A = this chain, B = another copy of it.
Amino acid sequence: MRTVSALALSSAFLLALAVLSPLPAKSQDVPGARYNAAQRLEFPANYREWIFLSAGRGMTYGPAADPNGPPQFDNVFVHPAAYRHFTKTGRWPEQSIFILEIRKAQSEGSINKGGQFQTDVTAVEVLVKDSKRFADTKGWGFFEFGTNRQPAAKLPPTASCYDCHAKNAAVEHTFVQFYPTLLPVATAHKTMKASAAH
């Protein structure tokens, strides 16, 4: 009976495991990048629940920069799993995914009579680190989503973003020099390129 009891114990434990585990997947626990059968990136619909890195306005180097148009805001988000890894190591793990969201700026509205606040989205750009999938572009893939937010193919290696990020981004392909909470992390871990300081 000892054998049977041990088996029963074991079964009960496995049952408990089955009931209680794996933990229910939360948005921040699942990979941020999903691809359809045609290998196009699905729009990461819940990116506004990821970690905010910073916002700028009218920055001149971005893909949406338009010297003839009114300055817009840009917001940058990163998947929580990638953020947590970076805060510990100063480096980005495989599958890291970043969002650059561009929004219109409005000056007067409600009680605000000066400065600018954010309104409608005008563009969403996505950057993913995946050394195997994007081997032909140094392990990083850029994507642009239109207003219809349909799955997007990776931008070709000739797109200007690849060369600009490779040359100017502070840590790997990311502009950590503009993310004030990550800059000290990269500095402490000595993962920032010296050329990117400001």
Query: CB < 8 Å: which of B9, B56, B112, B120 contacts A12?
Result: B9
For window 104-123 of A, CB contacts with B under 8 Å fall at: 105-106, 108-121
User: Please, which residues of chain B bring their CB within 8 A of the CB of A59?
Assistant: 112, 114-117
User: Please, which residues of chain B bring their CB within 8 A of the CB of A198?
Assistant: 106, 108-110, 112
Query: CB < 8 Å: which of B8, B15, B80, B168 contacts A111?
Result: B168
A174 to B181, CA, bound (A): 26
**Measured between C-beta atoms, what is the minimum distance from A137 to chain B in Å?**
20
User: Please, which residues of chain B bring their CB within 8 A of the CB of A181?
Assistant: 48
B61 touches A112 (CB 8 A): yes
A117 touches B54 (CB 8 A): yes
> Which residue of the partner chain B has the closest CB to A178?
B117
User: Which secondary structure dominates where chain A touches chain B?
Assistant: mixed
* Residue A162 interfacial (CB < 8 Å): no
> Which residue of the partner chain B has the closest CB to A104?
B180
A52 touches B48 (CB 8 A): yes
> Which residue of the partner chain B has the closest CB to A59?
B115
**Oligomer: number of copies:** 2
Q: Mark A113-151, 1 if CB is under 8 A from B, else 0.
A: 111111111000000000000000000000000000000
* Residue A196 interfacial (CB < 8 Å): yes
Query: CB < 8 Å: which of B8, B54, B108, B164 contacts A9?
Result: B8
* Residue A159 interfacial (CB < 8 Å): no
A71 touches B115 (CB 8 A): yes
For window 60-84 of A, CB contacts with B under 8 Å fall at: 60-61, 71, 73, 75, 77, 80, 83
Residues A12 and B16 in contact in the complex (CB < 8 Å), given A112-B60, A117-B59, A170-B110:
yes
A175 to B149, CA, bound (A): 28
A to B CB contacts below 8 Å, 5 in the list: A12-B13, A55-B73, A55-B75, A57-B73, A112-B178
